[in-house]
Amino acid sequence: MKKRGPDLSRRNFLKGSVVGAGALTAGVGTGLFMPGTAQASLPSLPLPYCIDSAGNPSTTPNGTNVPVLDPDDVRVMTWWYYSSQGKG
Amino acid sequence: MQSVVSGLMQGFKAAFAGDGTDWDFIPYDMYMYGGGGIGGWASLCGIPNGAAALLNLIGLHGALGSDMMGEYSGSEWPRAELADIYHNADPNYGPTSAGYSGIWSQAKTPIPDDEVLAHTISYSPICHVSISKWCYEAGVDLADTSPYGFGHKSDRCGKVAAGIAAYTAELINHWAINGASADPYSIRADTADCKVCHTTGSTVHGPAANGKMDCTECHMPNTYHTLGDFFIDDVWTEDGSGNLKTSFSPGDPIVYKVRFAILGAGSFFVRTIPDQTGEIIKTTSGVWKKAYNNSETCMSTVTTWSWSSTVPSNATQKGKFVVNLQVADTPTGPLLIERGREVYFSVS
C-alpha cells in the first residue's frame, strides 16, 4: 500500500509558516469548549417534525400525529428561495 | 442546497412558531456551503445534500436519506409540477392566489414544461454528472438564458430543488404517521449485480466497493469485463534469495517465476494448464519432470507467480522451466486465451 508522505500534506502550512503559527497560537490561546459544559442552551437534535394528539411538537411517529408540512408550499417556497433570494 | 433547506425549514418554523421549539434558533443560512457541489467541486449536488441536512435536523437522515437520494438520482428531471402551478394559475399556490402572489411577484417565471429543452435521469447524486448530462441533452451551456430571462440550467436546477424539497416533505409527513418510508429505495438490478462481486468486504473478485450509487454511470458495465489481451511478460529462474540466476549446481535451491499481464476491464480467472507448467531437467537417470499448478482470480494488471524447488542431486547439463497458462472470465467460464513460454538454465 502506498503511504502518503508527510511532505505531501496540505496541512503542513500550519507547521512552517507565519500564518500557520498564528493560527495555531490563536487556536490554543482562545481555549476550547468542553463538550456538554458551556453549550446547554444551544438547540439539541432531533427537532420536532409533527404535532401529537395532545397538540405538542413531536419527534415520535404515531398514527394520531398531525404532519405540519405542506409539500406544495415547500415546493413554491424552495423555488422562491432559489430563483430570487440567491440561495442556490 | 440552501433553497431546499430553507423551503423545508420555513415550513417547520411557521408550524412551530410560538411553541418554544429549537427551530427558532436554527438560522436559514447555515447550509450555504453545499451549492455547486461544495466549493465549486461539483461533487454531491447541493439539492440532496440540503434535503439530507434537513432530515438530520429531525433525526430522520438514516430512515429517509437513502430514499431521497434515490428519488434525486433515479427520477426524470425537471418535472412539470412547479411550472404547472404557475402557468395554470393554481388557485391555492399560483401567482394569483391570496397566499403566494407576493412570492411569485419576486420569483423567476418557471419555463413551461413543454418548452423545457430536456428531461434527464442523472443516475447519480453527483452535481457534475447531473448537470452535465442535462446540459448535453438540452444542448445548452451553463450560461444560456431562456426567453423568460432565467437560465435554462438554473430553471432546471431550481425545479429539481423544488421537487426534491416537496418529495422530502411528503416522506416526512408519511413517516410522522406511519413510522415507515412512503417510498423505500431499492438498489438498481444492474448495480446489485455488480455488487455480487464488488462487495464491501472482499477483494477476491475485484476492488471492494461501498455505497448505492449506480455503478455503470461511471464504470464500464459488466458486459465490458472483456479481455483485451493476455500475455506472459517474462519467465525466469532465481536463487533462493531473490536474485536472477541461470546457472545452478545439483542441490541448489531454485525459484521459478512467471510474470503475466491482463489487458482489459475487471477480473479474470488465470490458471496453469494442468500438468503443463513445471520444470524439466536432465539427470543421470533420465529426464526429471515436476509439474506446478496454480490458479487465481486476477485484476487486469501485472501478476507474478513463483514456485520454489531444489535442483535434483543427479541433475546434469541443463533444464528448462515451462509455463502454459489459460485465462477465463470465471473458474467455470469458457476459455478465452492460452499462452505459453519457457526458459532454459544450465546445471553443472
A38 vs B46: which has the higher pLDDT: B46
- Domain B225-347 annotated CATH 2.60.40.3880: yes
Tell me whether residue A79 is in a domain. Answer: yes
A29 — pLDDT class (breaks 50, 70, 90): very low
SS (H, E, C) A9-65: CHHHHHHHCHHHHHHHHHHHHCCCCCCCCCCCCCCCCCCCCEECCCCCEECCCCCCC
B196 vs B153: which has the higher pLDDT: B153
| Beta pairing, strands B315-328 & B267-272 | antiparallel
Q: Which of B22, B106, B161 sits opposite A43 (nearest CB)?
A: B22
Q: Which of B76, B251, B275, B232 is CA-nearest to residue B160? A: B76
Q: Is A54 on the interface with B (CB under 8 A)?
A: no
Tell me whether residue A82 is in a domain. Answer: yes
Is residue A4's pLDDT more than 80? no
- What pLDDT is recorded for position A19? 53
Q: Is B161 on the interface with A (CB under 8 A)?
A: yes
- What pLDDT is recorded for position B19? 92
Tell me whether residue A8 is in a domain. Answer: no
What's the domain count of chain A?
1
Tell me whether residue A88 is in a domain. Answer: yes
How long is chain B? 348
- What pLDDT is recorded for position B334? 84
- Radius of gyration over every alpha carbon of chain A, rounded to an integer in angstroms: 24
CB contact under 8 A, B173 and A47: no
Tens-digit pLDDT profile for residues B84-140? 999 999 999 999 999 999 999 999 999 999 999 999 999 999 999 999 999 999 999
Compute how many other C-beta atoms are within 10 angstroms of the C-beta atom of residue B148: 14
Contact B182, B171 (CB under 8 A): yes
Tell me whether residue A21 is in a domain. Answer: no
Q: Enumerate the domain spans of chain B.
A: 2-78+116-185, 190-222, 225-347
CB contact under 8 A, A79 and B107: yes
Chain A residues with CB-CB distance to B30 below 8 A: none
Chain A residues with CB-CB distance to B59 below 8 A: 45-47, 59
Is residue A20's pLDDT more than 60? no
CB contact under 8 A, B3 and A50: no
Range of the domain at A85: 51-88
Average pLDDT of span B259-276: 85
Q: Is B7 on the interface with A (CB under 8 A)?
A: yes
Tell me whether residue A22 is in a domain. Answer: no
Q: Is B16 on the interface with A (CB under 8 A)?
A: yes
* DSSP one-letter string for B202-227: --SSS----S-S-GGGTSPPGGG--E
Q: What are phi and psi of A9, to 5 degrees?
A: -75, 130
C-alpha B108: how far from chain center: 36
Is residue B272's pLDDT more than 80? yes
Percent of chain B exceeding pLDDT 90 equals 76
Q: How far is A7 from chain B (nearest CA, A)?
A: 24
Q: How far is B189 from chain A (nearest CA, A)?
A: 30
Amino acid at position B319, single letter: G
| Number of inter-chain CB pairs under 8 A, A vs B | 171
- What pLDDT is recorded for position A2? 45
Mean pLDDT of chain B: 92
B268 — pLDDT class (breaks 50, 70, 90): confident
Query: Helix, strand, or coil here: B313?
Result: coil
CB contact under 8 A, B178 and A49: no
Tell me whether residue A57 is in a domain. Answer: yes
Is residue A24's pLDDT more than 70? no
CB contact under 8 A, B22 and A59: no
For A9-18, A51-60, B185-194, which range has the lowest pLDDT when averaged over its residues?
A: A9-18
The dihedral formed by the CA atoms of B93, B97, B102 and B108, expressed in degrees to the nearest 10 = 50
Mean pLDDT of chain A: 74
C-alpha cell at B313: 542431486
Inter-CA distances, B257 with A37, B253, B279, Å: 64, 13, 11
Contact B277, B323 (CB under 8 A): yes
- What pLDDT is recorded for position B304? 95
Q: Which of A44, A63, A71 sits opposite B22 (nearest CB)?
A: A44
Contact B313, B285 (CB under 8 A): no
- Exposed / middle / buried, residue B77 (Cβ in 10 Å: 0-12, 13-18, 19+): buried
- What pLDDT is recorded for position A1? 44
Question: Closest-CA residue in chain B for A58?
Answer: B176
Chain B 131-160, residues with CB within 8 Å of chain A CB atoms: 150, 154, 157-159
Query: Helix, strand, or coil here: A83?
Result: helix
Contact B7, A75 (CB under 8 A): yes
For A21-30, B171-180, B209-218, which range has the lowest pLDDT when averaged over its residues?
A: A21-30
CB contact under 8 A, A69 and B12: yes
Contact B185, B67 (CB under 8 A): yes
For B20-34, B46-60, B162-176, B205-219, which range has the lowest pLDDT when averaged over its residues?
A: B205-219
B222 — pLDDT class (breaks 50, 70, 90): low
Q: Which of A59, A78, A88 sits opposite B7 (nearest CB)?
A: A78
Q: Which of B60, B57, B37, B62 is CA-nearest to residue B47? A: B37
- What pLDDT is recorded for position B196? 79
Contact B113, B130 (CB under 8 A): no
Is residue B1's pLDDT more than 60? yes
Contact B307, B292 (CB under 8 A): yes
Tell me whether residue A81 is in a domain. Answer: yes
B208 — pLDDT class (breaks 50, 70, 90): confident
Does ipTM come in above 0.90? no
Compute how many other C-beta atoms are within 10 angstroms of the C-beta atom of residue B191: 18
Cis before A46? omega within 30:
yes
CB contact under 8 A, A67 and B21: no
For A6-15, A75-84, B69-78, B170-179, which range has the lowest pLDDT when averaged over its residues?
A: A6-15
CB contact under 8 A, B177 and A59: no
Tens-digit pLDDT profile for residues B85-97? 999 999 999 999 9
Is residue A83's pLDDT more than 90? yes
Query: Helix, strand, or coil here: B115?
Result: helix
Chain B 25-44, residues with CB within 8 Å of chain A CB atoms: 25-26, 32, 35-36
Is residue B72's pLDDT more than 50? yes
C-alpha B219: how far from chain center: 7
For A1-15, A49-63, B262-276, which range has the lowest pLDDT when averaged over its residues?
A: A1-15
Q: Is A22 on the interface with B (CB under 8 A)?
A: no
CB contact under 8 A, B82 and A75: yes
* DSSP one-letter string for B325-341: EEEESSTTSPEEEEEEE
Is residue A68's pLDDT more than 80? yes
Average pLDDT of span B179-188: 95
Q: Which residues of A45-78 are buried (b: 16+ CB within 10 A; e: fewer)?
A: eebbbbbbeeeebbeebeeebebbbbbbbbbbbb
Is residue B153's pLDDT more than 70? yes
C-alpha cell at B180: 415507515
- What pLDDT is recorded for position A66? 97
